[in-house]
Chains A and B, each alone.
Chain A
């Protein structure tokens, strides 16, 4: 009969982790049980882990087999009741629980009878002062084991399948609700906001947010005032924590874009423990939208994109409407859908942006805007990862290096770097006048469209106004004592510089409407400066009328802005000309030919 090292189990169960390391190896035990522990998460690769029960004939204790020893089990070199000599083991501490891990062993005798009648080793190390009362019921049996005489009581306990960590049952984030308070989640901090302070008549305050994620979903957590001091530094982006005792409230959708009905309020008694074992939680869950589909998203909605940064704009400073200085930087991004879009970075992120040329960047939670068609903007919960190690990124890199670099991209109203020029004419997205009017574009918000139309009539009574000659100032000047005065610049001039102010009726095959144009539009339509045309009006009215009439019947490409306007209690949508260009017949013919020959639209009967 093989001699087991009696007393070793007792010793191991009572020793501190450091002592265990010193104990080293060389003791004989019998493996009275070997059980496979299956991983819960579908995301993790299925690495088997085996939980073993070691007995020294008198007592038994639990341990985990290190994965490097898995082959011994799968090859059946060790089976139930095999006797082995432990060469190396270690003890991991997880919170208040100790977990013994066998790192190396060698087999003494494979097939044996059970030796002795071991009972559970007494006095598992006492947990440090953690709130034991609110521990989930599941962990209670762990203490029962010491009393039970049954052979393998330890294994009868319901176990959290994923973790090596006995005792706590981990709730999925998806299952959190305000009615259940006794939960622990294991989640990764995918985003931590900065500490934000506010000051209002009721007083000052500060807060911070974190976005927590596990396999089942995401949830936002917010901590206020004192909690900021307690927990802000504890959370680190990218790390995994066990969190419990936070309050589950209804989510305030206004402040968060996270898809969850609920959110967590981190309080003073909220417990946050770092999870030290390698975790199978995915880093960040993305739901990438191809840029070609941005069109389908509503303004202000949030999405994820993965893209190549084709152009990096300069850092710009702009004044917000609230007279605050904002720092921004525009990027032009492209992706496999062969579309390009503008993405704006703000504040610190804009300042510190430093990525390689044509880097692959994944953005989580960027806001969709409608500046110049469709644009993207980072928000406080945006997560930007440069060159992420995910399949999508590699695919994108491969595509771009291969063929993407050569391609020209369809963009939302031909955005060019350094500021979206929503003024460009977009041949592909041209709309008929009937469609423009019927769709009520411009009703709720400023919108842009392109159309091709023929001028039917120009209102010639008020075709131009006297403007301030100062560069950049186009304010109307008033005649005072034969001189012209600009209120804004506080200067008077001999002569004003006239600028066009056009009101034209234009029509296409579908309908007719009125467009408002300014100086740029006038120059194109009349091929004379406003000064010249006003002079003509003064000198020879009939010649002037004839000249203006010449504009009728000419067709142009118009790039317009639709905006709601209230005038004398009447609210109407007005169409302003951002850019007007004469037809380039060759370009238009090419476009039509392409439409007929290659586009799907052209292939239909």
Chain B
């Protein structure tokens, strides 16, 4: 089980099915109602968030996990095409306006062949 968790946006999630990733600068959407979802073995709450490339991601939370900030970075396991299982979260809120495009550009740059050695997958 490797300990690498590449930083991804919503578009790249499917490529990492089953693996742990970092989803950075997720924005909690305005209507962050917690939905009680029960399908399969999953029982708990989940939140829909917007990734840095604008796509939607479902974050499945466990009772302990707290997500109060507007911008968060979540480390989690990819469990669906656009769903991750919450493992750890960091608050990224800032007074300054965050530039989502910049974040996404950086994420995309890490997958650039030029830097393959720097960002092993």
Contacts and interface: CB of A to CB of B under 8 A. Distances in A.
Contact of B109 (A586, A590, A593, A605): A593
B102 A586 contact: yes
B114 A593 contact: no
A524 B25 CA distance: 30
A590 to B, nearest CB: 6
B106 interface: yes
A590 B114 contact: no
A239 B113 CA distance: 65
Nearest to A596: B109
Contacts of B96: 586
Contacts of A589: 102, 106
A596 B112 CA distance: 10
Interface string B86-113: 0000000000100100100110010010
A355 to B, nearest CB: 40
* Consensus secondary structure, chain A interface: helix
A93 interface: no
B114 A586 contact: no
B107 to A, nearest CB: 11
A589 B109 CA distance: 12
A597 B107 CA distance: 12
Interface residues of B, number: 8
Contacts of A586: 96, 99, 102
A589 B107 CA distance: 12
A590 B109 CA distance: 13
A605 B114 contact: yes
Contacts of A597: 105, 109
Interface residues of A, number: 7
Interface-central residue, A590, A593, A605, by most chain B CB under 10 Å: A593
Contacts of A596: 109, 112
A596 B115 CA distance: 11
Contacts of B112: 596
A589 B99 CA distance: 10
A605 B117 CA distance: 12
Contacts of B114: 605
Nearest to B115: A596
B118 to A, nearest CB: 12
Interface in A455-501: none
Contacts of B105: 593, 597
B93 to A, nearest CB: 15
A593 B110 CA distance: 11
A605 B116 CA distance: 12
Contacts of A593: 102, 105-106, 109
A601 to B, nearest CB: 12
A305 B112 CA distance: 42
Contacts of B102: 586, 589-590, 593
A585 to B, nearest CB: 9
A379 B8 CA distance: 59
A605 B115 CA distance: 9
Interface in A103-132: none
Interface string B42-76: 00000000000000000000000000000000000
A145 to B, nearest CB: 81
A605 B112 CA distance: 12
Interface string A582-605: 000010011001001100000001
Nearest to A603: B114
A586 B100 CA distance: 11
A518 to B, nearest CB: 29
Contacts of A590: 99, 102
Nearest to A605: B114
Contacts of B109: 593, 596-597
A593 B105 CA distance: 7
Nearest to B112: A596
A603 to B, nearest CB: 9
Contacts of A605: 114
Nearest to A602: B114
A220 B90 CA distance: 74
Nearest to B105: A593
A593 B102 CA distance: 8
Interface string A282-311: 000000000000000000000000000000
Interface in A553-597: 586, 589-590, 593, 596-597
A436 B114 CA distance: 29
A586 B96 CA distance: 9
A590 B105 CA distance: 9
A589 B101 CA distance: 11
B88 to A, nearest CB: 23
A596 B118 CA distance: 14
Nearest to A590: B102
B34 to A, nearest CB: 32
A53 B50 CA distance: 93
Nearest to B99: A586
B100 to A, nearest CB: 12
A19 B34 CA distance: 111
Interface-central residue, B96, B102, B106, by most chain A CB under 10 Å: B102
A589 B104 CA distance: 12
B94 to A, nearest CB: 9
A583 to B, nearest CB: 13
A86 to B, nearest CB: 81
A586 to B, nearest CB: 6
Interface in A482-533: none
A590 B106 CA distance: 9
Given A586-B102, A593-B109, 9 more contacts: A589-B102, A590-B99, A593-B102, A593-B105, A593-B106, A596-B109, A596-B112, A597-B105, A597-B109
16 contacts: A586-B96, A586-B99, A586-B102, A589-B102, A589-B106, A590-B99, A590-B102, A593-B102, A593-B105, A593-B106, A593-B109, A596-B109, A596-B112, A597-B105, A597-B109, A605-B114
Interface of B: 96, 99, 102, 105-106, 109, 112, 114
Please provide the 3 A-B residue pairs with the shortest distance between their CB atoms, ordered closest to farther: A593-B105, A589-B102, A590-B102
